[in-house]
Amino acid sequence: EAQVTQNPRYLITVTGKKLTVTCSQNMNHEYMSWYRQDPGLGLRQIYYSMNVEVTDKGDVPEGYKVSRKEKRNFPLILESPSPNQTSLYFCASSLGGTLEPQHFGDGTRLSIL
């Protein structure tokens, strides 16, 4: 089954404790991206990747890192999480860029205390 898989689905942690949210897709997609969803603000892009080893900032990259060492994986790293990063996070992938349908994972709800 074609899918984007995120882990964990839920996480409660404390300020400053490094965490990684994994994202994996099995569709051989070139383009992958991370969004955060906050009430009243919709979906805002954090980072995106056009291909292996090629990443770029989205609208809200502060406090986040990403890497794309393999085509299928695109982890989101919070080196020193803070309470303002409490949010619902989505990973998405597409065959090539933003003119293609974006396939979203089911989300990761992060709470930073």
* CB distance 105 to 111 below 8 Å: no
Q: How many residues bind other proteins (CB under 8 A)?
A: 25
Binding residue (CB under 8 A) for other proteins from 34, 48, 64, 74:
48
Q: Which tokens hold the place of 72?
A: 């299928």
Residue 99 makes CB contacts below 8 A (sequence gap 6+) with none
Q: CB count, 10 Å around CB of 10?
A: 9
Q: Does 52 bind other proteins (CB under 8 A)?
A: no
Site stretch for other proteins (CB under 8 A), options 21-29, 67-75, 79-87, 103-111: 103-111
Q: Between residues 64 and 90, which has the closer beta carbon with respect to other proteins? A: 90
